[in-house]
Structure 1
Amino acid sequence: MTVDLTTKFTDFKILKNEPLAHYSWTKTGGPADFLAFPETNAQVEALVQIAQEQDLPVTVLGNASNLIVRDGGIRGLTIILTAMNQITVDGTQVNAQAGAAYIATTQVAQQAGLTGLEFAAGIPGSIGGGVFMNAGAYGGETAYVLAAATVLTQAGTIEVWSHDQLDFGYRHSAIQDQHAIVLAATFQLRPGVKALIQQEMDHLNYLRKSKQPLEYPSCGSVFKRPRGHFAGKLIHEAGLQGYRAGGAEVSKKHAGFIVNVDHATATDYLHVIHHVQATVAAQTGIKLEPEVRIIGAQ
């Protein structure tokens, strides 16, 4: 490294050679060369600028819930935004910083008597991650309720992008294509009845708990939904539930999940993913595409 970022910034936390297994929901992942936890937009700007000047690659993470970091770790600067977690309400709009938990944001909306975010009551990711991948569940999607997002562009400017500029698709947004960084999001919701909103959130969380293997570390739903099919059903019908490599296993409770049952590594996870893809393709001709984001060095 040409610069030690830990000496460049003293007003917030930067760690060196920090294992990302400490932060990922799978409990796997190699070290980040530098790992920063900025608390303001200005700090994110400064970090990115210094990294660019030093030719350091920049990787941005939120809650690291729908993510696999390879065992080789991440070179350059990794930014985790969870310290930027303020959530406010303005009329029928909820404004959340990128590092705010999606679950916490739904709870703030419920307390304000605003409906529209119930679908996300159990999504474990951050707001930034939710915008980045158009996170959704139970028939709802981020795109349905997002009015605008504040982003740091690749050119280094902070801009507010409208819903249309974000070009949402299934598990897709323009953030991915244009390599921007989400700093905050504004949700346009509707007035509702607090008790009914909570009732729907409780119902969806019951469904999630009863169907998903929440008792183990995992990266959530691993594969995108193939057109006309369900990934979990295809995996189940292929007889893959319980298939294991190292400590990573196709969940016996929900075939769409791969769980860390015994000190799994990221390499274990990737072995299971590749085996599932190959088996389903051989039996059905359908290629399962990962929904989980896979990053880092081998």
Structure 2
Amino acid sequence: MNIFENRIPLEKLKLNEPLKDHTYIKLGGKADILIHPTTKEEIINTVNIAKAHQIPLTVIGKGSNVIIKDQGLRGVTLSLSQFDQIKVYGDKVVAQSGSNIIDVSRIALDNSLTGLEFACGIPGSTGGALYMNAGAYGGQMEEVVAQALVVTKNGELLNMARDDMQLGYRNSIFRTDQYIILEVEFNLKKGNKDVISSVMQDLTFKRESKQPLEYPSCGSVFKRPEGHYVGKLIQECNLQGTRIGGAEISKKHAGFIINADDATAEDYLELIRLIKKRVRDQFNIELETEVIILGE
């Protein structure tokens, strides 16, 4: 702990911090050390100290698409959720990685900028959205990202162009965990504010009517297999509503697993294993998880 106290303000350090308080799904174990940086310097200092002392380093954003196992995370967990400034420069929006991607879409709306309407209902951080190449309702991050400021695990700052990010369906170079996203620059276009607002309202209504937003969840658990809908496959396996411990396959949308009653991470992971097995046995389809699973 002392090695961080000299470089990171004490109020931004927490020991044995329950990570269920830092994820949307509200489950998981504790972080040995949790750091909430608010500046680039604090992030780089944390990376450099962890490297110099060979301390494991895990980076999270808002925790919207993350399952942290019940044993928690060893070493240092770097939460970027308070590194969250958003600025507008003409047709460009620059957002720090811990900003809420929904807030970025709303600021784009306020400035009559079109392109981020699809993100108006995506929970989570801007960095997490780029990490996953998040998308919804026909739009995705790769269509609007121009570049990103990143730091390597060696503490080196780089500007990375979109073409170097290896963006694909729910995938990017950032999933190799060799880079930490600091800022994302969006290249948007001037549009009609009323039209942009109308599109966002329509997408918000669709999301609220179809998804179990009244319960903690990680959103879509699995990537969509080509030619199929995950929710329909799960329904046809007669698994909708199935519950293990406090985790439940949502009755409203079978592609979601909700924390219905103080679930553990193992409850959630058991349901994932059950779904994958039943879909494999019945349809010979191998489902791939979209949610990020962290911990030992």
Bucket of the pairwise TM-score, normalised by the shorter protein: over 0.9
Does residue 177 in structure 1 map to residue 171 in structure 2? no
Matched residues in 2 for 1:4 and 1:253: separation? 48
1:157 Cα deviation after fit: 0.7
Summarize the alignment of residues 251-262 of structure 1 with structure 2, pairs less than 5 Å apart. 251-262=250-261
Does residue 249 in structure 1 map to residue 217 in structure 2? no
Identity over aligned residues, as a percent?
48
Partner of 1:288: 287
Q: Are the counterparts in 2 of residues 87 and 94 from structure 1 also a CA contact under 8 Å? A: yes
Partner of 2:187: 188
Q: Are the counterparts in 1 of residues 114 and 189 from structure 2 also a CA contact under 8 Å? A: yes
Q: TM-score, normalised by structure 2?
A: 0.97
Between 49-58 and 210-219, report the one with greater CA deviation: 49-58
Matched residues in 2 for 1:12 and 1:181: separation? 22
Partner of 2:104: 105
Partner of 1:92: 91
Partner of 2:22: 23
Matched residues in 2 for 1:10 and 1:149: separation? 26
Matched residues in 1 for 2:177 and 2:250: separation? 35
For structure 2, list consecutive stretches of 5 or more residues without a partner in the other structure: none
SS at match of 2:31: strand
AA in 1 matched with 2:253: H
Matched residues in 2 for 1:260 and 1:35: separation? 23
Deviations 1:54-76 (A, max 9, x none): 11111111010011000000001
Q: Are the counterparts in 2 of residues 6 and 16 from structure 1 also a CA contact under 8 Å? A: no
Report the RMSD for the aligned CA atoms in angstroms.
1.2
Deviations 1:42-64 (A, max 9, x none): 11000111111111111111010
Q: Are the counterparts in 2 of residues 213 and 254 from structure 1 also a CA contact under 8 Å? A: yes
Partner of 2:237: 238
1:5 Cα deviation after fit: 3.4
For structure 1, list consecutive stretches of 5 or more residues without a partner in the other structure: none
Q: Are the counterparts in 1 of residues 37 and 43 from structure 2 also a CA contact under 8 Å? A: yes
4+ residue runs of structure 1 moved beyond 6 angstroms?
A: none
AA in 2 matched with 1:163: R
Summarize the alignment of residues 219-234 of structure 1 with structure 2, pairs less than 5 Å apart. 219-234=218-233
- How many residue pairs get aligned? The number is 296
Partner of 1:41: 40
Q: Are the counterparts in 2 of residues 12 and 39 from structure 1 also a CA contact under 8 Å? A: no
Matched residues in 2 for 1:108 and 1:273: separation? 36
Q: TM-score, normalised by structure 1?
A: 0.97
Matched residues in 2 for 1:155 and 1:4: separation? 17
